[in-house]
Amino acid sequence: TQEFLDALRDAGDRLVIVEFYGTWCGSCRALFPRLCRTAVENPDILFLKVNFDENKPMFKRLNVKVLPYFHFYRGADGQLEAFSCSLAKFQKLKDAIAVHNTARCSIGPPVGVGDVLDSPEEKPAEASPR
C-alpha cells in the first residue's frame, strides 16, 4: 500500500493508470500484452500493477470487486475514473486515455473577477468632477 501511495505522490501531474489484476485471472493475462504495447506508446503515462493476492485489504478498501480493474489518477485531481476492462472492451481504456491524457495548463490559477478589479491597471475609470 505504501509503495502504491508513494508512486501516486511521486507521479506529480502525470496521468497514472493502475491495473488491479490477479495472476490466476485469464482476462488479466489476455490483456497484458496489449497493455504493455499501450504503455510503450504512451511513455508520459505511469502504468502501475497491483496484485490481488498480495494486496487483498487494498482491493477491499478501494472497492475493487472484479478483475481486471483500472483506476486513472492525476496529481491534485485525484482519481479521475475507475472501470473494469477486458481485452474485448480495450477501446474503453484507449478512450479514457484520450480523455485524461491531455496537456495541462501551467500558467497558474485562473484570475478571479475580484483579482481583476483589484489590480491598478484594471480598475474602472472614475467619473471626473464637472
**Highest mean pLDDT: which range of 78-82, 104-108, 118-122:** 78-82
The predicted-structure confidence for 3-51, as pLDDT tens digits, reads as follows 998 999 999 999 999 999 999 999 999 999 999 999 999 999 999 999 9
Are 60 and 70 contacting, i.e. CB atoms less than 8 angstroms apart? no
Q: Is residue 71 part of a domain?
A: yes
**Could you tell me the three cell numbers for 69?**
480493474
pLDDT at 104: 60
Q: Is residue 110 part of a domain?
A: no
The predicted-structure confidence for 54-95, as pLDDT tens digits, reads as follows 999 999 999 999 999 999 999 878 899 999 999 899 999 999
The boundaries of the domain holding residue 29 are: 1-101
**CATH code for position 36:** 3.40.30.10
Scored b (16 or more CB within 10 A) or e, 21-35 reads bbeebebbeebbeeb
CA distances from 63 to 3, 84, 112, 125 (A): 19, 12, 38, 57
Q: Is residue 114 part of a domain?
A: no
Active-site residues: which are they? 25, 28
- The answer, yes or no, to whether the previous bond of 124 is cis (omega within 30 of 0) is no
Alpha-helix runs per DSSP H in 66-112: 90-100
Rounded CA-CA distance 49/66 in Å is 15
Q: Is residue 77 part of a domain?
A: yes
Q: Is residue 31 part of a domain?
A: yes
Q: Is residue 19 part of a domain?
A: yes
Confidence of residue 119 (pLDDT cuts 50, 70, 90): very low
Q: Is residue 108 part of a domain?
A: no
Rounded CA-CA distance 70/34 in Å is 14
The pTM for the full model equals: 0.77
Q: Is residue 14 part of a domain?
A: yes
Q: Tell me the backbone φ, ψ of residue 110, rounded to 5 degrees.
A: -65, 150
Number of domains observed in the structure of the chain:
1
